[in-house]
Structures are given as structure tokens and as C-alpha cells.
A and B are shown apart, each in its own frame.
Chain A
Amino acid sequence: MNLSFEGQGDVVVVRLLSSRFEAEASDEFRRRMTEYIASGASHFVLDLSAVKFMDSGALGAVLSVVKSLPSTGDLRLAAVNDPVRTVLRLTRIDKVLSIFDDVDDALRSFGPSGG
């Protein structure tokens, strides 16, 4: 298991447990996220504090999950390490996804009611 899910109010915190977010983990990520979204969840924080490397397949998975969210939903990144942040910046994906220094900041950004 490379992922953990934890509910914090209306927001689901998704944690990557491996230092590499690549093909295998991204398949699992996509599958599990689809299940959560189907069950009605729409606000997510993706905790990347453990991730030191992320390939383009994993980013593609994150983007496709964001696309599948309802218009009121969002997925926000938290605790992004420097190498991953560099990749997000140089491919301009940081302009599409909101990034926060840590999980608490990301949770707060959803507001008290999670919106």
C-alpha cells in the first residue's frame, strides 16, 4: 500500500507513503481517488511530504483526477519537496494546482466548512 486516506472534516487528506510517486503508485492513486469521488468526496489535500521524485505519469494521474472533480471540488497539494516543486514549476503545472507549505495550511485554505 502506497497511499493512506484520512478524513478531516469535509476534506480528505491523501498521503503518499513512498518517496517515489511513479507508475505503480499512480495507478493505485487514480483508482482509489475515483472511488472516493464516486462516494461523494470532492475536497482533497495531497500530502507529498514523503515524495522526493515524481514522474510525468504520476503528474498526469493527479491532473486527470483534478479534471474529474465536480466544479465545486478541488485537490490541493501540500508539503511539496524542492525537487518535485521544481518539476511542477518548470512544466507550469504549479499554475493549475494550488500548493501549500504544509497540510494544515492546505486544510485551512478550504475554510471551516471545507469549502
Chain B
Amino acid sequence: MDTTVAEFQRVDRESLKSLIRRHVKFGLGKSLSRATPEDIYLAVALSAREIALEKQFATQRKIEEQDPKVVFYLSMEFLIGRLLGNTLVNLGIDEPMAEAVRDLGFSLDDLKDLEIDAALGNGGLGRLAACFLDSLATLGYPGFGYGLYYEFGLFRQEIDNGFQREKPDRWQQVIMPWVLERPEESVMIPAYGRIVEGLDRHGRYNPMWLDWKVVIGTPHDIQVVGYGGKAVNLLRLYSAEPSTDFDMQIFNSGDYIKAVEQKIQTETISKVLYPADAVRTGKELRLMQEYFFVACALNDIVKKFQKKHSDLTLFPQKAAIQLNDTHPTLAIPELMRILIDENDFTWEKAWQITTETFGYTNHTLLPEALERWPVPLFEEIVPRHLQIIYEINRRFLDEAAVYSLSDPDFPRRVSIFEEGKTKEVRMANLAIVGSHSVNGVAALHSELIKTSLVPDFHRLWPHKFNNKTNGVTPRRWLLKANPSLASLLTRTIGDGWITDLDALRQIEPKAEDAGFRSEFLKIKRENKVRLAQVTKKLLRINVDPDSMFDIQAKRIHEYKRQLLDILHVIHHYLSIVEFGVDFPVPKTYFFAGKAAPSYWTAKNIIKLINSVADRVNNDRRVRDRLKVVFLPDYRVTLAEVIIPACDLSEQISTAGHEASGTGNMKFAMNGALTIGTLDGANIEIAEAVGAGNIYIFGKTAQEIEEMNRQGSYRSWEAINACEPLRRVLDAVSSPLFSPGEPGIFDWVKKLLVDDGDRYFLAADFPSYADSQIRAAVDYQHREEWAKKAILNVARMGPFSSDRTIKQYAEEIWGLKPLD
């Protein structure tokens, strides 16, 4: 007999089997004997969704009854990755489900591999948003994510002759059992048009928005299952649909081409995720995306509020809205518009409500990465919002006028508008002015926001600025990604660490326990074997799992300095082949990461890495001592294989450039030692794990800033003073790594010598190389290495996203968990 969830007393192997059978039979219309692995995958996912739905309804009931304050997390990116494994783990049914699937003649691990990896983000920022949703639900906080339902996620990366090639990621082509479309909750969003200033029926000023086009936003809900099933929240992603019925247009007007074009234009809004670094000013579609998604979100949030409350002055008591970077900043004028235009609030009251509602998280210190939009584009797409922003700015500058007496340039610096050939809107300034909280994502980063990025705003409102060091969810990055280590930890100290990562402290004494170390090393080796197998499968390269796995996996960017890493690899190679000086241990250097399609240097760094790999891996003189691997198409699923296998984690950004980093936390949590600069959260990681358990090198942020300020850095002097680096650069310019492609790496010397080495590679190269030697020397003594690695795991408690979310909840949002 088939079973429904309501009939479950407990979810066990037999009941799950019955549930899967029911989904195969009635959901997919097949008999079990004819079901393919894809069918079983779907049936398993639908079964898990059904179980989660019961918990979702329970969470919704609690929200109804308790009427708590709710947080809404607005982000252009949610890098959620595959959901099946994580959902089963969080529902606590991973094991019985594996047994049930096995009984039906399939393997759960194989089924998990059939799932598409939804790449709805570029990297850290999007993955952070996904980790935060996991923590919110696990801790029982009422919280919803809002974003865009991109048809194409981040591109799929393929490597062709060493170069990155971008292929479309059509993730929606496959049936997504996790997504529930909610057309009945669609919203209408006006855009474009013009403002006509006139009077209302009572003779008051009334700007009317005319000649707009309407786009329909349709929500798609994805469940976010908290660990232990305490709460199931939702991630709501919007797709854009044309407002007019396409077919009717064709028949009514007969203008088929125009109708098709309009449809394409509208649907394009949610078509594609922009790669990071490709988003500069002037991209109309990107601005439309940002506006569309926040307008949908705000519409939905206010509607939800108004279902229970008639008085919008209570809004900040019931809703907190967090802006993940500046991309959703239009939410501020949008809420103002809703309050003033649709609900007749005075400006003063509307502003009070708005600023009490919003918090803004800054993610970058690179001035060129701060969003700016040309005013004419705003005028075209969101004319009413532009008016509101002008008024926000006028009132803000009035308030700030007191400072301009002693500092006449003050208003120009803090203004939301930047005057110039084309006037621009500074989104960060708008976000700061319109929020009650502005936070950075690591201690150093938050300090630099105050002292370097926006010191004027800090002078105005010191109370707004605070730090929330990022974190990662241990459910995804330890429990799921590294089940063997997770099991060892649970056997040793119980499973409390899964929701209280500080509990890992209890394994500290085990660093001195030879038996524990032996098990720990055995697990690390198994994970390395797994990565070696993946490497073999993807690239046909054999790597030795007993070599030291040195890994840099992250988005490719000059400030993250993959170039420094590969230059050091070349140094390692030349030392062996030219001088016969080898490292104490064999090493395998792994790289993984995507470059923005328009980022020339980043793409050529990938080419250089692959060319070095070709040379090194085919040179018999270094066989068994040195390998170089570039793993294509880095994404959450691949990260889950790479990270647990790492011995040495490369976190080597130029100090003062990486806001926080979260990869650094994931690697350390899985027992890798970090080689890194004093940048982002590396500093806090170093404090937590202890100086003896991490390899810190390089100039500090202060030193870099000083050199920049004084213009005292001479890269060619640094290169001349470093014989190994000179040799490396000569080799890069020679045909050694570019046979048949002469001169293709001449840009490296140009970047480091002629262009002044903006990211201080030459300055840091000697200390980096020294640290590499230190790490390799230490790695010879595996027992000692294991002690350090175990201490890294034990001391990662502060880097759980649960800690971060608790801080956001208590210090910014004023949020309490559901009872």
C-alpha cells in the first residue's frame, strides 16, 4: 500500500520506499520496473519535498500565529548548488533514503550526481547568501530570500587550448523538482515612461507616472530546509513575463514580429546572470534586473505585511530588509514610493520607516567595483525613483551642510550624485544614506570601510557602521561535503557541533591522540583519492594522493593573485630542472575558478596556468615531484570535492583587497592549513587557529596603503632584488611555456614592470616563496601536520554562518527565533 506524508509516524526506510513508489507511479506515470535513474531521482526529490512541505506549512502556521519580525534578504545572487543531498541531510533522512533507494535497485550517490547544479551566482557573495538562508532556517528564524529566477545561471566553463570558453548554463532545461511556480502571486511592475507633474483632485502636487510598460513578475519558490527540520523557509525568485498576452497581440494587431520582439525584451530581464566584473555602468538590462527584482520583492513584502496589519508605520517592527551589496539598493526609493505614492505618507514619516527597515552589507573595497549608474539611464527606466532619489539627496545634503562650513568639498564627496560628463547615481551612497546599519564582512574590511572607503559617512553617522564577519554553513561544507570527517567528529564528541560549531573545540585534545590523528589522516587521504579520481576523469592527469595538495579555488581576479601562485609554481619547476633543488615533498598544485568573459587579464591567467601545466606535467624530470592541474567549471558541486582534499589552502589576495573570503573558512574547516596574507577574514582565522597553525606572509594592508599613498613602490626594484622572480619572468617571456605561440605571455612582464604591478606581486613574492618552503618542510612530518590540521578544524567555531546570522539577527534586525 502506498503512503502519504500525513500517514507517517516516522520516516523510515520502508515508508520512504513506499513514498518513492507512489511518486514514480502517480507522479511520473510509470511502473517501477520501467523507471530510469532520472525518474527515481525525481521521485526521491519529490518525496523529500513532500516531507519538507509538512514542515514548511508548520513554519508558516507559526509565523501566522506568532506574528514575529521577519527578515527579507535581498540578493542578486543565490549560489544554492545541488539541493537533494543537502535537503536529505537537513531533514535527517539521508541514511534511510539511501537504504530505500538501494532496496529499489539504485544508488543514492549516483542519483545525486544526476542533479543539476543551479549556478545562480558568481562566487562568494552568492554562496554567502545561500549559507545565510541555511543558517536562518536551522536556527529557526523567520527569513526569506528574494532574488531573480535566471534562465541562464553563470556560464559553464570549458577549456580549449588552455583558454576559457564560456558555454550557456541552461539549468532550467531539466525538470527542477524543488521549484514551485506561483503564478497566482504574480505582481505587476511598471518601468520606463515619464513623470508628468500636476495637481491631484485636492489641488496638491501630484507627479504622475505615464507611458510606462508593465512587466509581470512571477514568483518561484524553493524550500530552504533548516537542519533538524526546525524551520523550512523559502527562497523566492522572480521571472519576468510580458504583461500582454502574446498570442492575442499576434491576432489582434497582426504585427507578429513586433509582438515577438516585445516578448523577448520582457523575458530577457530574468534571462541571464551577469558575470562579476562584467557589470560596470551603462548596462540597461542589468539596471532593469536590479529594479525589477526589488520592485517584485517589496511589492510582495508589503502585501504580506498588509494581510495582517493595516498600519504601515508598524512596518519596521515586523520587517527587516537586508541589502546584499548595492545591487538591491533601488529597494530604498521603491519603499519610499510605495509609502508616499500608494499610501499617502508624508515624506518625513516614510523616510523614518524606510531607514528603520533597511540594512546594507558592503562587499568590496575596490572603488571601481562600487556601482554607479548614469542618471539618463535612471531617467529612462525608473523616472519616479530618480525623482525620489533627488529628494533624498537634497534633504540629506541639507542635513550634512553643517560639515561643509569647515570642509567645502564635503557635499560633493558624500552626494548620492556624482557630477561629471555624465551625471551618475552612486548606489553605495544611496544605500548608506537610506539604511540604519552599514556592515562590512570581516573585521579588517569593516575598519577599512570606515577609514578608507567612506570616511565621510562614518564621520556623519558612526553608529551606523558595524562588522559582521562572514561565515559558512557547516551543514553544507562539512557534514555533506566531508561525510567521513563529519562522522569522525560525531563519533568523538557527539553531533552537537552540527548546530553549534564552537563544540568542535572539544576535539582539540585529540590532536595529541595518535589514534585520532591516524583516522584523520586516513580520511584526508580518502578525500584526496576522490579528487585524484575526478582529476583523472576530467583531464586524464594522474596525480599522486600522497603528494601535498596545494589548492587555489575561487573566481579568477588580479587581486586574488592566481598569477602570484602560478609564478611561484614556475619557480618551483625551474628550481628542480635548472638547479636540481627540489621541495622537501612532492606537490600537486590545483587551480579552479572562472574568469569574467570580458576580463582579458583573468582569462590569460587561466591560459598561463594551463600552459605551465602542459609543460610541467609532460616533463619527465619532474615526474612524481610536481604536477599542475586546472580543474574546469568550478562550482559548488566541484568545490565539495576539492575542499575536503586540500592540504594547503591558498588565500593570497593583496592585503586590503579581499573583503572577507569564505573559501578560506571552508578549507580550514576541512582540515587544510592556510597560506595567506593578512587580508579579509584570514586575519581572524589566524587569530583563531594560532600563528603556528597557519602560514602568513606578505605586506600588510597598512604597508600597501602607505606605499600607494606615497607612490613609493617600484616593482622593477623589487624584481631586480629577487633573483628567482627575475628568472621566472624571463622564463614566462621565453618560449618555454608557449611553444608555437611566441610572445603570448609578454603581458606578464608588462603588468609587473611597465604597469607598476598594481597588486604587489613582486613585493610579496620573496615572503610567499619562503612560506611555501616552510609549509613543505612541515608537511614532511605528517603527524605534526595532522596536529595543526586538527587544531584548524577544532578552532573554526567562529566561522559558522550560524554565528554570523545570530549577530545580524540580534544586532541589526532585532529578530527572534520562532517558538
Contacts and interface: CB of A to CB of B under 8 A. Distances in A.
Interface of A: 20, 22-24, 53, 55-57, 59-60, 63, 83, 86-87, 89-93, 95-98
A93 B208 contact: yes
Given A55-B214, A96-B201, A22 B188 contact: no
A89 B340 CA distance: 11
B312 to A, nearest CB: 14
27 contacts: A20-B248, A23-B253, A24-B252, A53-B243, A55-B243, A56-B190, A56-B193, A59-B210, A63-B208, A83-B188, A87-B214, A89-B342, A90-B190, A90-B338, A90-B342, A91-B190, A91-B341, A92-B200, A92-B206, A92-B207, A92-B208, A92-B209, A92-B341, A95-B206, A96-B206, A96-B208, A98-B201
Nearest to B207: A92
B779 interface: no
B706 interface: no
Contacts of A95: 200-201, 206
A92 B213 CA distance: 15
Contacts of A20: 244-245, 248
A42 to B, nearest CB: 17
Given A90-B190, A92-B209, 11 more contacts: A23-B253, A53-B244, A55-B214, A56-B212, A60-B211, A83-B188, A86-B188, A87-B188, A91-B210, A91-B212, A91-B341
Nearest to B213: A56
A96 B209 contact: no
A63 B252 contact: no
Nearest to B342: A89
A57 B338 CA distance: 23
Contacts of B208: 63, 91-93, 96
A92 B248 CA distance: 28
Nearest to A59: B210
B189 to A, nearest CB: 9
Contacts of B342: 89-90
Given A56-B193, A87-B190, A96 B200 contact: yes
A55 B244 contact: yes
Given A53-B243, A56-B193, A83-B188, A91 B209 contact: yes
A59 B244 CA distance: 15
Given A83-B188, A90-B190, A90-B341, A56 B201 contact: no
Interface string B204-223: 00111111111000000000
Contacts of A87: 188, 190, 214
A67 to B, nearest CB: 10
Nearest to A91: B209
Given A24-B253, A83-B188, A96-B200, A60 B341 contact: no
A91 B214 CA distance: 11
A78 to B, nearest CB: 16
Contact of A96 (B198, B245, B338): B198
Interface in B121-155: none
Interface string B338-357: 10011000000000000000
Nearest to B249: A22
Contacts of B207: 92
Contacts of B210: 56, 59-60, 63, 91
B330 to A, nearest CB: 15
Nearest to A96: B200
Contacts of B244: 20, 22, 53, 55
B487 to A, nearest CB: 54
Nearest to A22: B244
> 10 closest Cβ contacts across the A-B interface?
A95-B200, A91-B209, A89-B342, A56-B212, A95-B206, A92-B341, A92-B208, A56-B211, A93-B208, A96-B200
B639 to A, nearest CB: 42
Contacts of A96: 198, 200-201, 206, 208
Assign chain B's interface to a size class: 20 to 34
A56 to B, nearest CB: 5
A24 B213 CA distance: 16
Nearest to B198: A96
Of the candidates A22, A23, A92, the one having the most CB atoms from chain B within 10 angstroms of its own CB is: A92
Contacts of A83: 188
Contact of A56 (B214, B245, B253, B338): B214
Contacts of A92: 200, 206-209, 341
A66 to B, nearest CB: 11
A23 B245 CA distance: 13
Contacts of B213: 56
A51 B200 CA distance: 24
A56 B200 CA distance: 19
B758 to A, nearest CB: 46
A96 to B, nearest CB: 6
Contacts of A23: 253
Q: Interface centre among B206, B213, B337, by most A CB within 10 Å? A: B206
A12 B206 CA distance: 28
Contacts of A55: 214, 243-244
A71 B136 CA distance: 58
B683 to A, nearest CB: 47
B382 to A, nearest CB: 12
Contacts of B211: 56-57, 60
A100 to B, nearest CB: 13
Interface in B64-89: none
A7 B309 CA distance: 42
Contacts of B193: 56
Contacts of B190: 56, 87, 90-91
B341 to A, nearest CB: 5
A1 to B, nearest CB: 14
A81 B459 CA distance: 50
A55 B208 CA distance: 15
Contacts of B209: 90-92
B86 to A, nearest CB: 37
A53 B248 CA distance: 13
Contacts of B198: 96
Nearest to A84: B188
Contacts of A93: 208
Nearest to B343: A89
Interface string B181-207: 000000010100100001011000011
Contacts of A57: 211
Interface in B7-65: none
A60 B337 CA distance: 21
Contacts of A90: 190, 209, 337-338, 341-342
A23 B244 CA distance: 11
Contacts of B245: 20
B346 to A, nearest CB: 15
Nearest to B200: A95
A106 to B, nearest CB: 14
Contacts of A56: 190, 193, 210-214
A91 B340 CA distance: 11
A58 to B, nearest CB: 11
A84 to B, nearest CB: 10
Interface in B302-331: none
Max chain A C-beta neighbours (<10 A), residue from B190, B207, B342 = B342
A48 B244 CA distance: 18
B441 to A, nearest CB: 35
Nearest to A57: B211
Nearest to B187: A86
B663 to A, nearest CB: 42
B520 to A, nearest CB: 59
A63 B200 CA distance: 12
Contacts of B201: 95-98
A95 B647 CA distance: 66
A23 B341 CA distance: 26
A98 B212 CA distance: 21
Most chain B CB inside 10 Å of its own CB: which residue of A55, A57, A98: A55
Contacts of A63: 208, 210
B258 to A, nearest CB: 11
A24 B255 CA distance: 13
